[in-house]
Structure 1
Amino acid sequence: MTPDASLLARSIDERERVLSLFLGAEQEQLSLACHALARAFAAGATLVACGNGSAASDAAHVAVEFMHPVIVGKRALPAVTAPELARAGDIALGLVHGGRDPLVEELLARPGLLTIAFTGPERIEADYSFAVQSDDRAIVQEVQETAYHVLWELVHVFFDHPGLIADACITCGDVAVEARVVEVAGATAVIERDGTREEIAVDLVGDVAVGDTLLCHAGVALERIA
């Protein structure tokens, strides 16, 4: 293997290592952030993406993902890259590849916004804050890009399930509940709680099996408890 090929292989291995650690640590918060995003969009929110320097292109990328879905049949959702347009009820998504960014932090500190932050190792305050543990800004960028594509995809998973983004869940009173899996069929499962059975979506929880205990809300499994 040539020196260049060896360097490339090491870089790819390191990126995969960091990505695996990130997803392992943040998968629950990512799913919760997606649910919050879907509910905010349903209530009329606009996503306001913000990033400076190398992160500016990612902010634009996020906005385009939501405004111009690449999958036929997925709804377009309002998104901009102009922080000055943010208003109460909107979604602020800030991206920083390394260090601090006063513009991003100022946006995320505004009252009345649902806030999401993607940073390097130094986490910043937000409703949902995701830190990539790497000093290599290229790796930070690639992991963040994977994560915000997950946000886009799971927001649409939530939209695809009736009742998921209603003000209150008709089956659990807007409170997530624990239930045992009694049947599994592809991306759905049947759960049982207090003698009552219900079919739910399990897209957000991998490898669901009969006997698992899931945390469920509005017809969707949010995480595995046991």
Structure 2
Amino acid sequence: MGWLAYLVGIFLPYVALAVFVAGFIYRVVCWSRAPRHLPWELFPYPRTAGERVGEMVMEVVSLRSLKLHNKNIWLPSLLMHWGIYLVAGWLFLVLVGCPVGLLGYLGGLAAAGGSLWMFAKRLCRGLKILSTPVEYLNLLLVFLISAGGIISGFFGEGPAVREYAVGLLSLAPRLPSRPSLLWEIFFLEIFLLYLPFGRMIHFAAKYFTYHRVKWGESH
């Protein structure tokens, strides 16, 4: 168990982070070099920087386009996304020394419930023929991470998580004080390794989707 704990808790975090950063940069470079779409201004779109930021924020917060084009999965998707936002907010507060365990648990419940709901939706007849195995894999991964954080008590261990994260960031890594947290750390490492090469990286493509495609801008 000693070497396995060292592998998951000390070695793999740096590997996962390096792969994530390299993969993220690679995908962004590929998007930036893609041929420009033919600009067809068929509808009014925001011209000023403030209007464009507002448009993108509204899309991220409400998933308005999904509601418009595929209302059947809008609510479970919104629940899952807001769960992820809450977990990310909890992690930020943990890192700055203000852990709010309730925020993490609420985010975990929302992400787990939303991903499970989405999984069930995609098994229904109408969506099953349109769903690919990778979409089920994405939902399963989100469910495992969020449910694992609840079951392992990860969201209630803010100080221990902060101590571990600070150790990694300061290049003085130490194993977490609670060995059970290693399971959640392992799932997060798998998530980071997979994220740049799967469809969940779409959050990073929002700029290009809006400026290069939807709004037809070259810059």
Q: Which has the higher strand share?
A: 1
TM-score range, shorter chain: under 0.3
Give the alignment's TM-score, normalised by structure 2.
Answer: 0.25
Structure 1 or 2: more helix by fraction: 2
Task: Determine which structure has greater relative contact order: mean sequence separation of CA pairs < 8 Å that are 6+ residues apart, divided by chain length.
Answer: 2
